[in-house]
Amino acid sequence: MHSDLLEHARALLAGEQDPIANAANVAALIYNTLPDVNWAGFYFLKGGELVLGPFQGKPACVRIAVGKGVCGTAVAQRKTQLVPDVHAFPGHIACDSASESEVVVPLFRGADIIGVLDLDSPRLNRFTEADARAMEEIAKIYVEASGIEG
Ligand code: SME
């Protein structure tokens, strides 16, 4: 499942460098491939805060401060957040009330973080360590393909 998804992501982004187009296609690929995902998309760091990028799912909060919510925590801690129950995560920001679990992966450009890739599920405990590793790999594929590597 994951190797197919990674393969598909590489093929989808091959030969295209536009960061918005690539983010849009990655969000659509994940959303339409992984079961039980109600939101998949990107936030990009702009002027010191996370700003909503291309996504699939319900409309979401546009700006998230670094250190706030699951997304802002991923940036502040510089590491993937695997959240089995969002209601147990202090400061979780509820965009879609259906969301029960979440995984957020930082997008690294060299040592810098340029944003995050965020997935929500309406099912508790939906995401595994293997899902988190696969999303980290997709984040890498995205940054490299989009010509934004430091
Ligand atoms: N739940 C996230 C906010 C973004 S939405 O899930 C799309 C958070 O706590 O950062």
Q: What is the pLDDT of residue 57?
A: 98
Kindly give the confidence (pLDDT) of every residue in the chain, 150 residues in length, as a single tens digit, with 9 standing for 90 and above.
788 999 999 999 998 999 999 999 999 999 999 999 999 999 999 999 999 999 999 999 999 999 999 999 999 999 999 999 999 999 999 988 999 999 999 999 999 999 999 999 999 999 999 999 999 999 999 999 998 765
Percent of residues in the chain assigned helix, strand, coil, to nearest 5: 35, 30, 35
- How far apart are the CA of 3 and the centre of ligand 1, in A? 26
Q: Residue 14's pLDDT is what? A: 93
The atom of ligand 1 lying closest to the CA of 120 is 6
The pLDDT value recorded for residue 138 is 98
Strand-pairing partners, residue 109, are 112
* pLDDT value, residue 9: 96
Q: Whose CA is nearest to atom 5 of ligand 1?
A: 95
pLDDT for the residue 148: 78
Q: What is the pLDDT of residue 147?
A: 80
Protein residue with its CA nearest to atom 1 in ligand 1: 93
Q: How far is CA 28 from CA 38, 51, 84, 121, 138, in A?
A: 11, 19, 23, 15, 13
Per-residue DSSP letter, 21:
H
**What pLDDT score was predicted for residue 2?**
87
Q: Cα(128) to centroid of ligand 1, in Å? A: 18
- What is the number of the ligand 1 atom nearest to the C-alpha of 73? 10
